Amino acid sequence: MVAPAVSIFRGFQLVRRIHPCEGVLVKVCMNRFALSLRRNRLLGAATLIAAGVVFGSYGSAQSAPTGTVDTNSKPIVLTGGDERPAFSLNGDWHSIPDPYYAGLYDFHGHESKRGWYLNLKAKPGDTSPIEYDFAQSPVLHVPGDWNTQDPELFLYEGPMWYEKDFDYNVKPGTRVFLRVGAANYKSIFWVNGKRICDHTGGFTAFACEVTPALVDGHNFIVAVVDDTRRADGVPTTKTDWFNYGGLTREIGLIDVPQSFIDQYDLHLNRADRTEVDGWVHVMNSQPGESVEISIPELKATTTAKTDASGRAAIQFHPAGLKLWSPESPTLYRVRLTAGADSLQDEIGFRTIEVRGTEILLNGKPVFLRGVSIHAEAPYRTGRAWSYKDAATLLGWAKELGCNYVRLAHYPHDEAMLHTADRLGLMVWSENPVYWAVEFDNPAVYANAQNQLDEEINTSRNHASIILWSMANETPINDARTKFISTLADHARSLDPTRLITAALLVHGTDDTKIVDDPLGAALDVIGTNEYIGWYERHPEDIDKFTWKIAYQKPVIMSEFGAGAKAGLHGGPDDRWTEEYQANVYRHQIVMLNKISQLRGMSPWVLMDFRSPVRVLPGIQDGFNRKGLISDQGQKKQAFDVLQKAYQDKTVGKPQ
């Protein structure tokens, strides 16, 4: 898809407005792009991308690669894959931006037989030149987005090639999988020139078998990652967050026996909260093979047999089991064994359900005191991925007084979820069906469902996750309602132990807000987003509002808030000041306490984050400023307002 063109000068203005060439004249800044090989590659592309013109995207200027796949190209999901021992491929990778996709296609748009994935080297007597050289190309650190590692790549959107050399000792009788924590958005991987898998989706982990391509000794891996925004993507072309591209989460090789555990689910039975139920799936197993589950701390062990599908049903009663909760986030090391394969995971056991308008944790009503969080790295910005990032973000949430966080608007990494497990923070995890995707396109639904499959099958054993969210702020129409309702049904078929929600838009008249979105019928918990006092009316008007909700279900106010630049002060009615934001929060708390079925809240948002649609000079400068904390860790006045309400429990009731 080619977006409507705008002038080159407007493209320059966009670069000047939010590019890190701060204080440099636009013409000088752009001229610098032409001073090196990388700048020559990017000059035309960066300007045209800024102007809305995208080259080399699948399904637009060129179709998806159609060349022969050398090995099974369908990625799989490894539950608990991050807990398995791995040969790390983190670190420096050589990289080449390729806005015209010259590394994969020839000048007529056909897949090249001499593509960059071959990692060819020039030799004496060659009859044609090699016009790339990974070994001489700049490096990018993995995990990490490319945008924040090199100012020249800040606004780059398109294909990026990665290459890494490594030595590997192949163990006889084993299979080896490349596990990728996330690659935004479309990616292809080759090992030693053999194509091993293709993947779509920028926020979920996947694993590709590399056994046939690996050799004992020296190997090389090549990937091309394309973060081009697409009309038929999930998410689609427009979002309110920065499109960080690249290999943004950890990557490594995992070796397993020929028959191995790929997925499993262990959870507490809702009926009596003493029985652990679930299943373990063993890939390439024979019927009747033994699977063992043990919790050493409790001296509890059980065994089961695989059926014809490779699944073994689990059911046992570990004596002395303590339940996970925010007040006591008890986790157990659980060992799973099937034949020659074994792994360990850290699992907490609890139940979550609804009863009328109540949310019940371990059978008791609970109010979710929360905040929304983007996967934006504190201080350095860019995509968050590390335990340090998670400890900072979720540490702030705990300091705020939260027992719950909404991880928006896509699945977050395993470090965030493990940290939430350990800190006792309940989690809303979200599929990136955001705003107006192509709801009438079956291929888009298949994409969304696959991302949901990967999200749930990767993260299903985290005690912290209590809510699977299907979408955020989608337009009301029949195609959309069918699309998301079908996703909700699919989520329940994968995981009937958690609650299904979505963040809905609301409407109203005068001083009344109405929640009657037909999608609510498909949800266990109604999420609603509203910005009274910011996008409509004044802060003092918020108190006047009443709510009419068409469903007798629990309601979470999944978003509300106001923007403020940290350190900007004025009166309570001066927009963009800390005082204005705090004033909105004070009045919101008054209104929220009048909603009888309100069972949780996650105001927008914990920390300021980059967004290209937020361009007000001197205030936003490319950041959404609704954070309670700035991207540099400065707490705003609204943080104190909400913290006091949470600590004193003066907002919300569990029943």
Answer yes or no: is pLDDT of 188 > 60. yes
State the average pLDDT over residues 436-445. 98
Which residue is associated with the tokens 């091993």? Answer: 196
State the average pLDDT over residues 501-519. 97
pLDDT band, residue 29 (cuts 50/70/90): very low
Mean pLDDT (the chain) is 91
What pLDDT was estimated at residue 19?
36
Q: Which has the minimum average pLDDT: 40-49, 53-62, 89-98, 360-369?
A: 53-62
Q: What's the maximum distance between 2 C-alpha atoms anywhere in the chain?
A: 82
Vertex 190, ends 186 and 194: CA angle to 5°? 135
How does 10-41 read in b/e, with b if 16+ C-beta sit within 10 Å?
ebbebbbbbbebeeeebeebbeebeeeebeeb
Specify the DSSP class assigned to residue 178.
E
Answer yes or no: is pLDDT of 630 > 60. yes
State the average pLDDT over residues 427-442. 98
Give the pair of three-digit tokens for residue 332.
């157990």
What pLDDT was estimated at residue 21?
37
Distance CA 250, CA 88 (A): 8
Answer yes or no: is pLDDT of 556 > 90. yes
CA-to-CA separations, 602 to 356, 366, 528, in angstroms, rounded: 21, 14, 10
- 87-88 vs 525-529, strand pairing mode: unpaired
**φ, ψ for residue 357, nearest 5 deg:** -100, 15
Which residue is associated with the tokens 């307002």? Answer: 641
pLDDT band, residue 66 (cuts 50/70/90): very low
CA-to-CA separations, 124 to 74, 119, 127, 129, 363, in angstroms, rounded: 39, 17, 9, 10, 74
**φ, ψ for residue 142, nearest 5 deg:** -120, 130
Distance CA 466, CA 424 (A): 12
Answer yes or no: is pLDDT of 58 > 80. no
Query: Which residues are CB-contacts of 156 (< 8 A; sequence separation ≥ 6)?
Result: 42, 45, 46, 49, 97, 99, 146, 147, 245
Vertex 617, ends 615 and 620: CA angle to 5°? 55
**CA 422, 428, 433, 435 torsion: positive or negative?**
negative
Which residue is associated with the tokens 């192509």? Answer: 438
What pLDDT was estimated at residue 70?
52
Answer yes or no: is pLDDT of 177 > 70. yes
Specify the DSSP class assigned to residue 84.
S
Distance CA 28, CA 18 (A): 16
Cα 406–chain centre separation: 12
What pLDDT was estimated at residue 8?
24
State the average pLDDT over residues 559-578. 98
State the average pLDDT over residues 320-328. 98
User: 3-state SS of 429-455?
Assistant: EECCCECCCCCCCHHHHHHHHHHHHHH
Which residue is associated with the tokens 């690996």? Answer: 214
Answer yes or no: is pLDDT of 72 > 80. no
To which H or E segment does residue 290 belong? strand 290-295
Give the pair of three-digit tokens for residue 351.
């139940």
Vertex 458, ends 453 and 459: CA angle to 5°? 105
Above pLDDT 90, what percent of the chain? 89
pLDDT band, residue 11 (cuts 50/70/90): very low
Q: Quick one: which of 386, 441, 443 has its CA closest to 415?
A: 386
How is the beta sheet containing 186-191 ordered, strand by strand? Answer: 139-142, 91-97, 159-168, 217-226, 186-191, 194-200
Query: Which residues are CB-contacts of 494 (< 8 A; sequence separation ≥ 6)?
Result: 452, 453, 456, 457, 460
Answer yes or no: is pLDDT of 207 > 70. yes
Indicate the SS3 state at residue 609.
Answer: strand
Q: Which residues pair with 302 in a beta bridge?
A: 293
Instruction: Identify whether 444 is preceded by a cis peptide bond (ω within 30 of 0).
Output: no
What pLDDT was estimated at residue 604?
98
Predicted confidence (pLDDT) per residue in 573-628, tens digit: 999 999 999 999 999 999 999 999 999 999 999 999 999 999 999 999 999 999 99
pLDDT band, residue 14 (cuts 50/70/90): very low
Which residue is associated with the tokens 């590019």? Answer: 19
State the average pLDDT over residues 514-520. 98
Indicate the SS3 state at residue 148.
Answer: coil
- 525-529 vs 555-559, strand pairing mode: parallel
Specify the DSSP class assigned to residue 522.
G
Q: Which has the minimum average pLDDT: 3-17, 289-303, 572-586?
A: 3-17
Give the pair of three-digit tokens for residue 34.
């032409």
What pLDDT was estimated at residue 150?
98
Amino acid at 493: S
What pLDDT was estimated at residue 422?
98
Answer yes or no: is pLDDT of 45 > 80. no
pLDDT band, residue 51 (cuts 50/70/90): very low
| Residue-range domains of the chain with CATH | 1-53 (no CATH), 54-124+135-257 (2.60.120.260), 264-349 (2.60.40.10), 353-425+448-463+507-518+531-648 (3.20.20.80)
Vertex 233, ends 151 and 457: CA angle to 5°? 100
**φ, ψ for residue 350, nearest 5 deg:** -160, 165
Give the pair of three-digit tokens for residue 30.
């752009």
State the average pLDDT over residues 464-487. 98
Distance CA 256, CA 267 (A): 25
Distance CA 412, CA 385 (A): 8
State the average pLDDT over residues 189-209. 98
Distance CA 195, CA 112 (A): 13
Count other C-beta atoms under 10 Å from residue 447's C-beta.
21
State the average pLDDT over residues 513-522. 98
Predicted confidence (pLDDT) per residue in 84-128, tens digit: 999 999 999 999 999 999 999 999 999 999 999 999 999 999 999
Q: Which residues pair with 281 in a beta bridge?
A: 263, 311
Predicted confidence (pLDDT) per residue in 358-401, tens digit: 999 999 999 999 999 999 999 999 999 999 999 999 999 999 99
- Contact criterion met (CB below 8 Å) for 187 and 221: no
State the average pLDDT over residues 198-211. 98
State the average pLDDT over residues 298-324. 98
CA-to-CA separations, 94 to 145, 164, 484, 552, in angstroms, rounded: 14, 6, 40, 56
Answer yes or no: is pLDDT of 133 > 90. yes
State the average pLDDT over residues 633-643. 98
- Contact criterion met (CB below 8 Å) for 448 and 431: yes
Answer yes or no: is pLDDT of 437 > 50. yes
pLDDT band, residue 71 (cuts 50/70/90): low
Count other C-beta atoms under 10 Å from residue 75's C-beta.
26
State the average pLDDT over residues 555-559. 98
Distance CA 170, CA 178 (A): 14
Which residue is associated with the tokens 């309702």? Answer: 485
What pLDDT was estimated at residue 53?
32
What pLDDT was estimated at residue 2?
31
